[in-house]
Structure formats: C-alpha cells, structure tokens
Amino acid sequence: MNIALIGSGGREHALCKKLRESKKINTIYCLPGNAGTSKHAQNLKIDINNRRNLLKVINFLNIKVVIVGPEEPLVNGIVDFLTKNKIKVFGPSKYASQLEGSKSFMKLICKKYQIPTADFKICRKISEVKKFIKNNNTPIVVKADGLAAGKGVTICKTKDNVLRVANEIFKGKFKSSKKLVLEEYLDGEELSYFVVVDQYSYSFIGSAQDHKKVGEKETGPNTGGMGAYSPAPILNKDLENKIKTRIIVPTLKALKDRKKNYNGFLYIGLMIKNNNPYLIEFNIRMGDPECQVILPRLKTDLFEIILASINNNLRRIKIKWKNLKCMTIVLCAKGYPSKYKKNIDLKVLKKIKLDKNSFIFHAGTQILKGNIFSTGGRILNITSVGKNFSSIKDKILMNIKKLNLKNSFFRKDIGWRVIK
C-alpha cells in the first residue's frame, strides 16, 4: 500500500521512520518532508493548500491513506476535503480540530462539561482585559486564541505585562487570533498524555514530559519544545484513571453530543497538582518533540494502529511497548526562538556514526545540491533509548559533542526532574 505523510518536522521524521517498519506499506510519500525523511520516504514538494492539485497527486500515485502530521492543515479542514473525495485520512475533522485551533472553544467545552481547568476569561478587546486584571492577582496566563506554533502562551508576572502581551495579540501578532484567553496561573508539574481515538473508543499511546522554555531552569520565552523524555514517571494508575474519567471521556462526549466524531491522535496537556489533573491544552496531533521519544518505545506496528483508528476498530488492537526509556534534546540555531541563523551547513551529519539505540531526527533541514542545510530554528533532535534516563542523557550529550555543530545551542538541563 502507498501512503502519504503531510509535514516537514522532527515529528514527521519520527513518524516516517516508524511507519517504514510496517510490512503493510510499499512507498511512503512525505509532503514536503525534510532531509531526514528522505531516508525512509520519497519527498514531494507540493503545495498542500492547492487542494485540487493535491488530489491529483494522491490519485496519480495510488496513495490509499493520508496521515496528517501538523496542526495547521487539520485546523484548515484538510481531513474534511480528503474524506469528501473518498480518500482515507488519519486526523480529526475541521470541527474537532478546534480543540487546538481555538482556546476559547476548548475552554467553553471545559465549562459546560465540568472538565477541571484553570479559571478563565475570553477577551475580544482591551477593556475586558483591564477588567479581568483588576479583579485577579498575578501571575496571569495570556493565551492567543488561535494557532501560534507553541509561542502563543505567556505567563505574566505583572499586570502591565498582561496589557502589553494582550495589545500585541489584538494588533495581529498571531494572524489566526482575533481574541485571547486569560487564565489563572496553575502551579504543579506538567504531563503530556497521548491517546489515539476512533468513533467508538480510544487507546493510550504514550506519556511524556517536555521542556518548553528556551532557557535552563525553565526560563525565557516559550518555544516549540527544547527536549522531552518518555515515559513520564509522574503517571500512576490513580492519576491515569482521573485523566480518563475527568478529561478524556467528557471531551469525547462533548463532540458526540454535537454529532461530531474524532479520529486521530489526541494530545492532552496537563498540570498535575496533588495527583489531580487539570487541563492546560489539547493538541489534535502528536506532540513535537514528544513524538520523537514515544515512537522509539512503541512495539506494535504504528500503521496497524492508524488503520484501526480510520476504520473505527481500535478495540481490536492491543498496543505493546518496549521496556525502554527515551529522551531527546533539541539542537537549535543561535537566536531561536527570536531571529535565528538560517542555512547552517550540516555536513557534520555525514561523519557521525550512531549505535542502534541512538537516532537523529531532522526538525528543520533540507537538501540543496546534495548537501544538508538548516531551515528552521529547531534543527535536529538528538535522541537515544535505554534502561535509565541518566545513561541515555550521557549518550545524547556525547553525540552532540561529536556533532560539534557551529552556530547552535541546546539546553543542558533536559530531564532535570528525572535525573538527580
């Protein structure tokens, strides 16, 4: 069977590598892919927003299943379009994608279905922001309503900062956001919990903890993610049961009440306090870089899981795991997440030799005239699996040292919660 995978980041490289293990797949086409995905798939540089041309390519290449990696095409309704044209596709509909695409949509579902989350206020103008901060203490969390590539959330320690960030959003800092959400600040430990969903059920597909801040000791602005590890030690049976009954079940019920189904990955971003979960956010796809630490631990054929979700028979699949832990550290271009250096020569990749338990996932790379160059702020995900996080991190740091990539940086404290 020929399949297509939409996306070009580290998540898509990890998905591509794992899908390549399936005996059910002939050719993987990655749209557009990156230098890393080219090792496992055939990259195709096409504009996925040109729907008519996309459909022609899918039919011409006899592609039977399309897997959507990133959030933007999902929010823009690519699943609805492909489904209407009788193409099997893995990912939620445009309506269901509002769980990530609109913070206000998600918060209103939480309110109606009593899903535990931070107190909030949806604001459409600065006067509403001023009223909220007058009656609430700092810190206050400001969230752009729409998609913002992981950079739309700011924890403000002063009321002046709340007003500054709110004004930036209202003035169009994030094009998809015409409004914002103000939230009370929740203190605790973050957890990423992942499930795969079909019309009738859902199955657990991994836990992780990531590091969103650019600076060590969780300082500086938010990023798309500076590193992650899996599984999350904070997860226990009691907490997991609460996550299912208090958050996942009512959320899927909310969609069913609206006669909407959900097929695809669902990422539940949580704050854990006193072993109780509070919903921070939903993502309608695998996390990045969480995907890069979950999939290396997966024993079951990923494509079989995806097909089961598409065909609404997830209950028949038993997902199995390798008895391994995994960690990744993101190697970034200097200046990220602000203005960063581009087109860094990555010829060092040709020289480095990795053992069977180490991987380098490409997050922002491309091939030009046979050579690999950086294209994004997050360049590479240096990843390893093993029995304990301490030895895994030592191996990652050794591989980063071998790379010796100029004009790059990384956080040296990734995994500080699990490595004492």
CATH of domain 120-184: 3.30.1490.20
* Mean pLDDT, range 64-68, rounded to an integer: 98
Summarised one tens digit per residue, pLDDT across range 254-276 is 999 999 999 999 999 999 999 99
Question: What pLDDT sits at residue 178?
Answer: 80
- CATH 3.30.470.20: which residues of the chain? 189-316
Say whether pLDDT at 99 is over 80.
yes
| Helix residue spans in 88-192 (DSSP H) | 98-101, 103-112, 126-134, 159-170
Give 140: exposed, middle or buried? Use CB within 10 Å, 0-12, 13-18, 19+: buried
Task: Give the C-alpha separation, 141 to 144, whole Å.
Answer: 10
One-letter identity of residue 272: I
Q: How far apart are CA 138 and CA 362, in angstroms?
A: 39
At how many degrees (to 10) do helices 159-170 and 126-134 cross? Answer: 160
Q: What does the mean pLDDT of the chain come to?
A: 96
Give the residue range(s) of CATH 3.90.600.10 domains in the chain: 325-409
Tens-digit pLDDT profile for residues 211-235: 999 999 999 988 999 999 999 999 9
Percent of the chain with pLDDT over 70: 100
Check whether 177 has a pLDDT greater than 80. no
**Helix (H/G/I), strand (E/B), else coil: 180:** strand
Looking at domain 325-409, its CATH superfamily turns out to be: Phosphoribosylglycinamide synthetase, C-terminal domain (3.90.600.10)
Predicted confidence at residue 293, as pLDDT, reads: 98
Q: How confident is the model at residue 392 (pLDDT cuts 50, 70, 90)?
A: very high
Question: Residue 401 and residue 339: Cα distance in Å, rounded?
Answer: 25
Q: How many DSSP H helices and E strands does the chain contain?
A: 13, 22
Q: What is the pLDDT of residue 314?
A: 97
* Check whether domain 189-316 has CATH 3.30.470.20, yes or no: yes
Residue pLDDT, tens place only, 30-43: 999 999 999 999 99
Per-residue pLDDT tens digits for 323-365: 999 999 999 999 999 999 999 999 999 889 999 999 999 999 9
What is the pLDDT confidence band of residue 394, given thresholds at 50, 70 and 90?
Answer: very high
Statement: residue 308 has pLDDT above 90: yes
Q: Which CATH number fits domain 2-91: 3.40.50.20, 1.10.10.10, 3.40.50.1000, 3.40.50.300?
A: 3.40.50.20
Which of these ranges, 59-63, 90-94, 115-119, 177-181, has the smallest mean pLDDT?
Answer: 177-181
Token pair, residue 159, equals: 């009321």
User: Residue 105's closest CA among 93, 117, 97?
Assistant: 97
Q: How far apart are the first and last CA of the chain?
A: 47
Question: What letter represents residue 124's amino acid?
Answer: R
pLDDT for 175: 78
Query: Where do the CATH 3.30.1490.20 domains begin and end in the chain?
Result: 120-184
**Cα(89)–Cα(56) distance, integer angstroms:** 16
Element (H, E) at 60: helix 51-60
Question: 0.75 exceeded by the pTM?
Answer: yes
Q: So what's the pLDDT on residue 364?
A: 97
